[in-house]
Chains A and B, each alone.
Chain A
Amino acid sequence: MKVAVAGKGGSGKTTIAGTLARVLADRGQRVVAIDDDSNPNLALTVGAGSAVADVPALPRDLLEERADAEGTKRLELSVPAEDFIDRFGVAVRDNLTLLIMGQPHHGGSG
Chain B
Amino acid sequence: MRGVLNGLVAETARTTIVDLEAGLEHLSRGTARHVDTLLIVGEPYFKSLETASRSFALARDLGIKRIGMVANKVRTPRDEAAVREFADRHGLVVEGVVPFDDAVQAADEHGAALIDYRPAAPSVAAIRRLADGVLAAGR
The size bracket of the interface on B is 35 or more
Q: For the complex, what is the distance from the CA of A46 to the CA of B7, rounded to whole Å?
A: 23
- B11 partner residues in chain A, CB cutoff 8 A: 77, 80-81
A2 near B1: Cβ-Cβ < 8 Å: no
Q: For the complex, what is the distance from the CA of A97 to the CA of B108, rounded to whole Å?
A: 21
The interface size of chain A toward B, counting residues with CB under 8 Å, comes to 59
A2 near B21: Cβ-Cβ < 8 Å: no
B22 near A2: Cβ-Cβ < 8 Å: no
Q: For the complex, what is the distance from the CA of A47 to the CA of B112, rounded to whole Å?
A: 6
Q: For the complex, what is the distance from the CA of A18 to the CA of B108, rounded to whole Å?
A: 13
Q: A16-B72, A18-B113 are in contact. Are A4 and B8 (CB under 8 A)?
A: no
Residue of A nearest to B139 (CB): A1
Residue of A nearest to B116 (CB): A47
B20 near A19: Cβ-Cβ < 8 Å: no
Q: Out of A9, A58, A82, which one reaches B13, CB within 8 Å? A: A82
A73 interface residue per 8 A CB criterion: no
A71 interface residue per 8 A CB criterion: no
B72 near A63: Cβ-Cβ < 8 Å: no
- A29 partner residues in chain B, CB cutoff 8 A: 14-15, 135
Q: For the complex, what is the distance from the CA of A72 to the CA of B98, rounded to whole Å?
A: 45
Q: For the complex, what is the distance from the CA of A38 to the CA of B17, rounded to whole Å?
A: 16
Q: A34-B8, A101-B5 are in contact. Are A11 and B16 (CB under 8 A)?
A: no
Q: A12-B98, A44-B108, A44-B111 are in contact. Are A32 and B134 (CB under 8 A)?
A: no
A47 near B115: Cβ-Cβ < 8 Å: yes
Q: Please give the residue numbers on chain B whose beta carbons come within 8 Å of chain A beta carbons, in ascending order.
A: 1-5, 7-24, 27, 31, 34-43, 48, 51-52, 55, 59, 64, 70, 72-73, 96, 98, 104, 108, 111-116, 123-124, 127-128, 130-131, 134-135, 138
Q: Please give the residue numbers on chain A whose beta carbons come within 8 Å of chain B beta carbons, in ascending order.
A: 1-9, 11-24, 27, 29-38, 42, 44-47, 49, 58, 62-63, 75-77, 80-82, 84-85, 97, 99, 101-102, 106, 108-110
